[in-house]
Amino acid sequence: MNRKKIILYIGHTFDLAFFTRLMPLINPDNEYNITAIVAKGKYFKEMHHLDDILMNFSDTQILVKEGEIPGYSKNILKALWNSIKLRLRIRNLDKGKNILISIDKSTFMANFLNSRFRNVLLIQTIESSDKELHKHFKLRVWRTIWFNLINLLTCSKFVIIYCNKGSKRKVHQFRIINSNAKIVYRNKTNLINRISLPAVASEFSKNKVVIFGSRFNEWEYFKENSAYNRIVIFKFYKYISELFIDFDIYYKPHPKETGREYDEINSIFNDRLINVGNVLNSELYLLKNPDIAYCFSINSTSSISAYEMGFNSKVFYKLLKFPYDLLHDMNKTFQDASDDFFISEINKDIENKILKKKEKKEIDYISDIINSL
């Protein structure tokens, strides 16, 4: 019997961790044949055992090396050549019958693939409403024109690109024109078209704390209040170092972090920080270490991932001074979290464990869509 085929696009290590959790729930009896297409770019450079992880939930793997990943490049010939090579590598996939599942829509490779398949399932978070978009974002005119020139030449769907007004052109939102994708959300609990994955955190935690790193020394939008913000960051971590004196403290660096942030924070902890590197991304690291007691960060999306995975995870960006529009975007990112996810005072309620009901798996919606296509 021919099994229905599902194609997964993995453009980021987060996607890899998410599908590692999702696919065994969707495909427990090996009903579907799974092909994983991986853009093996900068986020995968330090990752070990990628092939082993992929083989746990997929039958076939198509790995696209960093130099061959189609992108919205200034070198338009390179973008076109890489898109031709990718088209050849996926030529045997049935674009009319196979189902493409993607978490990403903002990169060219994601848009290129989404445009090739008739059946597309896009798993994403809630975006800003049109009203919020026009209030807090502005249109990137020339970037939109350039990207759509590449989209036109590769027969890919057109996009509109917006930039958060307070982010110094670092935070963007992409809107696809005439998208054919069915949308499933992984946040916003009151939606029908939502999925959630079961918690993985152990009920029997050990004396372990994880700090998710941030590139706060490189944030352009951070510089206006840099002196104040650095004082608060270091004061917070000083308090953490004293509060959890008997704990092992692990540091999970941001994939693009240069190392200076770790050195500065490690000095506050008197060289107690254990740098776990980027062999695994944050979500995969948590899957391997379910006995962690607490997770902290400034505003890392790894913190909301940890929260959704059942860990006692907290952020403290509300102690800092960020541009208004950017702060709105952060609040949007963490909108489903309870109040005790947010630290509003350095020495208040930090040890309180989040009384969050552990998520049960809610995958019926996505399973019904897959079965209907």
Q: What percentage of the chain reaches a pLDDT higher than 70?
A: 94
C-alpha dist (Å) from residue 210 to 4, 99, 237, 310:
40, 37, 12, 14
Question: Does 231 lie in the same domain as 137?
Answer: no
Output the pTM of the full model. 0.90
The rounded distance, in Å, linking the Cα atoms of 48 and 52 is 9
Structure confidence at residue 114 (pLDDT): 95
Answer yes or no: are the C-beta atoms of 278 and 238 closer than 8 Å: no
Give the number of domains in the chain.
2
Identity of residue 361: K
Q: Is the pLDDT of residue 356 over 60?
A: no
Question: Does 170 lie in the same domain as 35?
Answer: yes
Q: Please list, in sequence order, all residues whose beta carbon lies within 8 angstroms of the beta carbon of residue 113, skipping any fewer than 6 positions away.
A: 7, 9, 37, 90, 100, 102
Structure confidence at residue 354 (pLDDT): 56
Q: What is the CATH number of the domain that holds 26?
A: 3.40.50
Structure confidence at residue 120 (pLDDT): 94
C-alpha dist (Å) from residue 143 to 166, 220, 252, 276:
18, 20, 33, 37
Q: Is 178 exposed, middle or buried (0-12, 13-18, 19+ CB in 10 A)?
A: exposed
Let me know if residue 348 belongs to a domain: no
Helices (H), the chain: 13-26, 50-55, 76-89, 108-116, 130-136, 141-153, 226-243, 260-268, 282-288, 301-308, 324-333, 364-372
Let me know if residue 349 belongs to a domain: no
Q: What is the CATH number of the domain that holds 319?
A: 3.40.50.11110
Q: What domain range is 252 assigned to?
A: 208-341
Structure confidence at residue 357 (pLDDT): 44
Let me know if residue 280 belongs to a domain: yes
Q: What's the pLDDT tens digit per position in 39-57?
A: 999 889 888 889 999 999 9
Question: Does 253 lie in the same domain as 337?
Answer: yes
Question: Does 157 lie in the same domain as 18?
Answer: yes
Q: Is the pLDDT of residue 353 over 80?
A: no
